Structure 1
Amino acid sequence: MTSTATSAAVEVSEVRRRYGGADGFEAVRGVSFDVRRGELFALLGTNGAGKTSTMELVAGFSRPHAGEVRVLGHDPHRERPAVRPRLGIMLQEGGFPPDLTVAETAAMWAGTLSNPRPAAEALELVDLSNRAGVRVRQLSGGERRRLDLALAVLGRPAVLLLDEPTTGLDPESRRNAWRMIRNLLADGVTVLLTTHYLQEAQELADRLAIMHEGVVVAAGTPTEIVAGHPARISFRLPFDLSPDALPQLPGARPQEDAAEPGRPLTIRTDALQDTLTELLTWARRHEIELAGLEARPASLEEAFLAVADHDNPLGVRA
């Protein structure tokens, strides 16, 4: 890794984690990345890719079988007393006592922290003030996730670990969570996030890594990750016109499948503006309507699907 202790809040170097002894399953196989101070780093991956196992190593819940983890310059497992007061953690399941109210749960958690923000303030941040008197077991799944998030930020963390923080949230609550996370970043908090919502990663992440089968297969900014994937232009030609009638389009990749007459046709291109300009000029010249015309730049979703669909995906390495 190229980061230094002054620029990186989290450093993960060639870590490995195995379950079931020496001959057991190796969930994390030589993963390396760093999270710079004040940035949001997203860890993405297919199911079983090793994201949560890696997150647990950063949290200090267990020790890697090989490699090294440093959080704010300390080993989070061996030097837990130095790390824990400055670390906020939101797991996939909070496991709070179901008979306590929301306010009681926040107060209980605040009692374990050295410098908590007011519990009412934390609940306000996640829009749970009006549910303060409700017992945890009566909360919806989305409300429980919001409570998890409130408790993760209760201790004014310098580093915040968020494992699937918006799972189960409705779109409005998800947007509110994004707004809160952006405000924390603006205050200098460092965030390591795992998520299955690719839009979430694209909206929030300064940098990200994509994991597959326990290794990092791509890392960089969202723009860098997406750069190697083509844009798409979709439309329907008139029934009496074959795709063979299309002109040579600059930047267009060879068609994998010819569309049937009247069915949507998708052109993949590495030069969206040039391809689209030539296509529209041709259509206007020949008075052809391109029904349902839609042009989309390459997306993080396409980069992610390349991981899921291929055994040796993506060439950008950390």
Structure 2
Amino acid sequence: MTAPVTVPSRVPPLVLIHGPEAVLIDRALAETLAEVRIAQPEAEVIRLSAQGYEAGQLTMAASPSLFGEAKTVVVADADEGGEAFQNDLLAVIPDTEDELRIIVIHKGGNRGKKIVDTLKHHKARVIDAPAIKTDRDKQDFTVNEFRRAGRKATPGAVRALIEAVGNDIAELAAACRQLVDDTTGTIDEQVVLTYHGGKVEATGFRVADAAIAGDAGEALRLLRHALGTGLDPVPIVAVLAGQLRQLVRVGSAGSGRSGDLARDLGMAPWQVDRARRALNGWDGPALGRCIQAVAAADFEVKGGGRDPVYAVERAILTIAGERAGRR
């Protein structure tokens, strides 16, 4: 039998995937393993987890095979391992050679930091998987998803997609992939609305936009639509609070380029521009009263009141009323 043809691998013996974002971790692992398979199609992949680890497992997995086949050992949750796990991994790291690769996944934090430091000391390839939390993070992630696929998306499309999908980064990545696969050309807001129009209209963002603009009727209509599609009052109140806080932060930041303020405030440039437009007709005391009203609604929708829907409606009417009185 002819031996399988192998080519030199660009993947070094040690790889560290570092950070808490699951989507980025999974992607980095998949791409690294694919790169290994190109060079060594017959390489055995062994998966271990630091959770529930038993002493000696890693040593056995990393030991040379009887026939000298290549091995790739994937070690998950290195930040959660105990003393036995850490000792075994630290002992194996210096002995890694061409026929053995160790991919370590560490979600961050101080626990297991010695592992991270040792891997870096031994010239491991480090792939970051930072948390995607802020609106700016989500915008950058979405833009990069389209860029990776060789596509362009307008700022309006990015905003609409984030509003439609919400905080689930895996769902956001899947939505980007769907638009890439099912459409051609530049992805604009209309394209997003074609695929996610119902979700966009049902989000708390549209409710908040209408309330902050002083349009109580539209805000209440959108609220009922959102509730009718299954959206819980709690995230709607959270969006109201978040949008009001953005107005306060942008209003307090003074003048300057949108990009510079966005970077300083952890926002996306389009959010700064939107907040600046929305601030017309608002002042500090009015925003303060609205924030107090939303805080009261937050208490009620989380169990402190009898009627969560009424609590949200009252907060919306307060916001719209404060804005309408200053037109």
- TM > 0.5: no
Point out which structure has higher relative CO (alpha carbons under 8 A, 6+ apart): 1
Answer 1 or 2: which has greater helix percent.
2
Relative to its length, the structure with more strand (as a share) is 1
TM-score, normalisation: structure 2: 0.31
